[in-house]
Amino acid sequence: MEDWKNKPDSFWREQLSNDQYAVCRKGATEKPFTGKYYHHHEAGIYHCAGCNLPLFRSEEKYESGSGWPSYWAPVDPKNIETVSDTSHGMVRTEIRCARCQAHLGHVFEDGPAPTYQRFCVNSLSLNFSSSSRK
């Protein structure tokens, strides 16, 4: 089993684009309404851009109006870790990839039923694989 949590910084700089590195490894946030997956509606799975762990399904994606791709549930709750984030004068819950610790975004308690959660995710922290057969 590969040890994703202890990869050196040099690995991530080679693996990720500069923008992905800023978001995934340094906790930056892409500008709202600019991410490639914000208005993305293809059927499939959204994976971690760092380690390819499946994170979210298109079936749980919804239009939150927040400016970032939003999901009401992850593929598997074990694939997401949460951390308290008190930056920017707010108290929020940061979400990270459980395998490689990539910063994904934040989770809020204002989503739709059945979970009432909004996993608000940076497109730069995701890769997408289509479920269509070609």
Q: Provide the pLDDT confidence category of residue 3 given band limits of 50, 70 and 90.
A: confident
For the stretch 89-127, pLDDT in tens is 888 899 999 999 999 999 999 999 999 999 999 999 999
What integer is the mean pLDDT of 20-25? 97
Q: What residues form DSSP beta bridges with 62?
A: 70
For each of the domains in the chain, give its residue range(s) and CATH number, in order of start. 31-130 (2.170.150.20)
- pLDDT(83) > 90: yes
Residues 1/128/88/80 CA torsion (nearest 10 deg): -40
Q: What's the burial of 23, exposed, middle or buried (CB within 10 Å: 0-12/13-18/19+)? A: buried
Residue numbers annotated as active site: 120
